[in-house]
A and B are shown apart, each in its own frame.
Chain A
Amino acid sequence: MDLTPTPSQTVGPYLHLGLTDRGSIPRVAGDGTTGERLWLTFRVLDGEGVPVPDAMIELWQADSDGNYVQRDNGAAGVAFSGFGRLATAEDGSCTFETIRPGRVAGPGETLQAPHINVSILGRGILKRLSTRVYFAGEPANDADPILALVPENRRPTLFAQPDTARTNNWIFHVRLRGEGETVFFDV
């Protein structure tokens, strides 16, 4: 049997039917999860700056101790699964409730800065786009081994910014193409 991985195809405009009508997960961290609670809003914009109303965002993150918890999000008593999934609304946005992740081991002896792994899917996106959310003002960012791989002038595209109007709210823009284009990773 040929073990070349199966090719990706776009999720298409009707992704909600299969993925988010029943399978939305806006809360990555439920009540009682240890850590700094925050609300993280994504806004997805296309190459002309127009909001993308039919994208889907998935999150994968460590807990506040820097551990990835691979257990069923629906299991009784599980408050934190590290996984979130939402479709964007007409204005291209969606908001997750989570906690700031801890630091995770990086290549070699390094320690990564707190970050959230992100998948972006949508009509016109033939294979998943991957990026990372880091937090602006986090002192550990300066020594993060992955940020160090990104040209300095593009690094700011990976920083969520605090929403000055609302405490504990952060915003992250996904610019798919063109000016201020978000850094995407080849994972």
Chain B
Amino acid sequence: MSSSQIQSGRDNPKKSVVPFRRHEQGTQPDYLYPEYRATRLRSPSQPLIFLPHTLSEVTGPVFGHSSVQSKDRDLTLQHASAPLGERIIVRGRVMDGDGHPVSNSLIEIWQANAAGRYAHAKDDHPAPLDPNFTGTGRTLTDNDGFYSFVTIKPGAYPWRNHDNAWRPAHIHFSLFGPAFVTRLITQMYFPGDPLFAYDPILQSIPDERARQRLVSKFDLETTKPEWALGYRFDIVLRGHEATPFER
């Protein structure tokens, strides 16, 4: 998308509204997943109203382009010294469901430190804060949809959802894509984490293959000798329906 694009509302020929494809059953979490306790009071009880896509849904904000700086993608360089923990590189490609790269699009991430503590006033987990780690990063995808961050591997941490509840280590990802309906906020996990089976947030996704899509892969190609392990995390945003007239 160009950085300046105006979509006319009143005189826009309606055939230019190409709807986005709907999600396949089971590939996204439901709103109510009682094992994740907070959903019980924060999920709608009424069925959602199906909204045919209009210009309001197929357009979306262009955000962050002028404010992102190249140093924002390295979470280990934001303070006087290096943060404690295992330095890692997270790299991947953002594609849409049509197989096209999502280029020049904002990604925002945030995470706990190596001890499993967020630099957030409301996190009271008795693990140490790291004065050299805030845990926030952002970047734009390149022309081919690739991105990378340098950070440290976050720790697992307890939460009070149920008895002896622990979140598997994860990094939060936020993406916009080209339209209101392509907005995605998700979490990236690390391969082989023994906590997966006990985590209702990950398990809220019914389809096992869909869950696996949130687990990054160790990647020797991304790994830098004598410096940092690499993980690969590809992301797919919604694509368009085949033609504007097929709905």
Specify which of A72, A109, A112 is in contact with B56 (CB 8 Å cutoff).
A112
When the two chains form their complex, are residues A119 and B183 in contact, meaning their CB atoms are under 8 A apart?
Answer: yes
The segment from B83-91, B190-198, B217-225, B234-242 that touches chain A is B234-242
Question: B144 near A: Cβ within 8 Å?
Answer: no
- The reply to whether B56 and A104 form a contact with Cβ atoms under 8 Å apart is yes
Interface string of B1-24 (1 = CB under 8 A from A): 101111111111010010000111
Collect the chain A residues with CB atoms within 8 Å of residue B52's CB: 107
Q: Does B136 sit at the interface, judged by CB under 8 A?
A: yes
Is B143's CB within 8 Å of the partner chain A? Answer: no
Q: Are A9 and B185 in contact (CB under 8 A)?
A: yes
**A32 in contact (CB, < 8 A):** no
Interface residues of B in 21-68 (CB under 8 A from A): 22-24, 27-31, 33, 36-46, 48-57, 59-67
B165-195 interface (Cβ within 8 A of A): 172, 174, 180-181, 183-187
Judged by DSSP, the binding face of A is loop
B185 touches A128 (CB 8 A): yes
CB-CB under 8 A from B56, the residues of chain A are: 60, 62, 68, 104, 112, 115, 117, 132
Q: Smallest Cβ distance from B232 to chain A, in angstroms?
A: 12
B residues near A122, Cβ cutoff 8 Å: 42
Tell me the smallest distance from the CB of A132 to a CB of chain B, in Å. Answer: 8
- Report the nearest A residue to B99, measured CB to CB: A3
**Contacts A124-B41, A128-B183: A7 and B64 contacting too (C-beta < 8 A)?**
no
A113 to B10, CA, bound (A): 11
Complex interface: chain B residues within 8 A of A70 (CB): 1, 4-7, 59-62
Q: How far is the CA of A183 from the CA of B49 in the complex (A)?
A: 7
- 0/1 per residue, A81-122, Cβ < 8 Å to B? 111000000000000000000111111110110010101011
Q: Is the CB of A6 within 8 A of B60?
A: no
Contact indicator B99/A5 (Cβ below 8 Å): no
Most-contacted residue by chain B among A1, A67, A75, A183 (CB, 10 A): A67
Q: Are A177 and B9 in contact, with the CB atoms below 8 A? A: no
Asked if residues B57 and A187 are in contact (CB atoms below 8 Å), the reply is yes
How distant is A97 from chain B, measured CB to nearest CB, in Å? Answer: 16
17 contacts between A and B (CB under 8 A): A9-B214, A14-B118, A14-B122, A22-B136, A60-B56, A60-B180, A69-B6, A107-B14, A108-B14, A124-B37, A124-B38, A126-B30, A126-B204, A146-B51, A177-B43, A184-B49, A187-B51
* Chain A interface residues (CB < 8 Å from chain B): 1-19, 21-23, 46-48, 50, 52, 54, 58, 60, 62, 65-76, 81-83, 102-109, 111-112, 115, 117, 119, 121-130, 132, 146, 149-150, 154, 176-178, 181-187
Task: Apart from A70-B60, A111-B10, list 19 A-B contacts with CB within 8 A.
Answer: A2-B213, A2-B236, A3-B96, A3-B99, A6-B236, A9-B202, A17-B118, A21-B136, A68-B9, A70-B4, A75-B66, A76-B66, A102-B9, A105-B55, A124-B38, A126-B43, A181-B46, A186-B48, A186-B51
